[in-house]
Amino acid sequence: MLAKTNIIANDIDYYTNSNSNSIIYEITKNEVINYGKEINSRIIVVDEDGNVTIDSKEEFRGQEFEHKEINSALKGKNISNAYNFKEYGHLLYTSVPLIINGKIEGAVLTSTSIDNIFVRVNSIKNALYWISFLSVIFVAIISFILANIFSKPIQKFTNVILNMARGNLNQRVEIHSNDEFNQLANAFNIMSTKLDQVDIQRKDFVANVSHELRTPLSSIKLLSESLLHQDTVDEKVYKEFLSDIDSEIDRLNNIIDDLLSLVDLDKEKLNLNYKVTYINHLLEKIISRLKPISEEKNIELNYIEKAKIQLNIDKNKIQQAIINIIHNAIKYTHENGNVDVILYSDNKNAIIEIKDNGIGIPEKDLEHIFERFYRVDKARTRNTGGTGLGLSIANQIITLHQGNIEVKSEINKGTKFYIKLPLDNNVSLD
């Protein structure tokens, strides 16, 4: 409306002047009346004193017009206000100054009914109320449905978790939907299966440890009781029994040492003392340490070096692992046998091969020999003084170094262990 009012103000010219020529006045007046019809508004033009010079309804001509909007326009302002009158309804008053040759010579006021706009605004308002109302109901229904869909599986989960907390670790969640809940349930089931396994392993381990400790203890008890219950004992028998007791105590000590190193390994997982080390030197040292043991059985212990390899390792731990395996090779090989320790590399790993021509390991036992306390022949190993923990310790150490141990064996022909340790940046090969 401001733009339209300005257009009229621009069109009107000199006629506002009181002396103006009546023909020009008539032409201008008709123009204003026509334009008023065109834009559906009443148009009033006043002179600088506020006297009406043109009224498109031809009612107020010549009268002085006191009007808020016109007064503002006479002061040079464009202004527009909406009113709601009882008799006329909603009206929009728009007024602009009439500027001729840079001077305010009067003002133009347009008054337009905006009832139809209000009707439209009201119907939009009503529609909005309805839309909001229906949305609220719709959202409420959807939330109710979703809450049901989500809360059911969560309820299931909660029950299962509470059951697990009570110690029933073999719990599984059954959710057969096709969404994230299903994924979560699967992940949860994998975790609970794992927990269950760990729990079973722990119980087995405790049972095994108790059993292993009890055996030497019962021997000691038996030996000491039989000494106590005899009135007169030969000194030779005394000595013999005492030396048996002594070796059972050694056995207990070995078991406890091995158990402690297993516990340490569990604890120290992230705490290995890595140093760049020549595996060659380490092997030489180990061989010379084990030579006396092999010589007792007249076993030829050879070290064959096919490469010089540096690795970033915890030297003491790796030494313990290698000793355990070479020691086994000597232990499970007959007198006059051979044990070869060979160092080489494929391009990814340093490989330490320990090859014996001893008694071998039956196929069915191969997959178990790394388990804690597992021994192929319990009776025989008792004589050789093993704990059944050596390979388990070795395996854990090598695994901590990101390596692995492989084994090939043939009964009565011999066994080959391959300790593979990954070569890394710190490695030099020559």
Ligand X SMILES: Nc1ncnc2c1ncn2[C@@H]1O[C@H](COP(=O)(O)OP(=O)(O)O)[C@@H](O)[C@H]1O
One residue of 108, 415, 419, 420 binding ligand X per CB under 6 A: 415
Residue (172 or 289) nearer to ligand X, CB:
289
Residue (214 or 368) nearer to ligand X, CB:
368
Residue 398 · residue 280 · CB < 8 Å: no
Rounded CA separation 413/208 (Å): 31
The residues that bridge with 410 in the sheet, in sequence order, are 414
Number of residues that bind ligand X (CB under 6 A): 22
In 3D, which of 324, 175, 193, 197 has the Cα closest to residue 257? 324
For the beta carbon of residue 213, count every other beta carbon within 10 angstroms. 15
- Residue 396 near ligand X by CB under 6 A: no
- Residue 262 near ligand X by CB under 6 A: no
Rounded CA separation 38/72 (Å): 26
- Residue 376 near ligand X by CB under 6 A: yes
Residue (61 or 408) nearer to ligand X, CB:
408
One residue of 328, 345, 349, 396 binding ligand X per CB under 6 A: 328
One residue of 215, 381, 399, 404 binding ligand X per CB under 6 A: 381
Residue (360 or 390) nearer to Mg ion, CB:
390
Rounded CA separation 339/356 (Å): 4
Distance of CA 236 to the CA centre of its chain: 70
- Residue 386 near ligand X by CB under 6 A: yes
- Residue 294 near ligand X by CB under 6 A: no
Residues that bind Mg ion (CB under 5 A): 328, 386, 390
Selection from ligand X, Mg ion, none that 369 binds (CB < 5 to 8 A by kind) is ligand X
Rounded CA separation 42/94 (Å): 11
Rounded CA separation 356/424 (Å): 29
- Residue 329 near ligand X by CB under 6 A: yes
- Residue 388 near ligand X by CB under 6 A: yes
- Residue 332 near ligand X by CB under 6 A: yes
Residue 419 · residue 413 · CB < 8 Å: no
Residue 163 in tokens:
């059951």
Binding site for ligand X (CB under 6 A): 324, 328-329, 332, 356, 358-361, 369, 374-376, 381, 386-392, 415
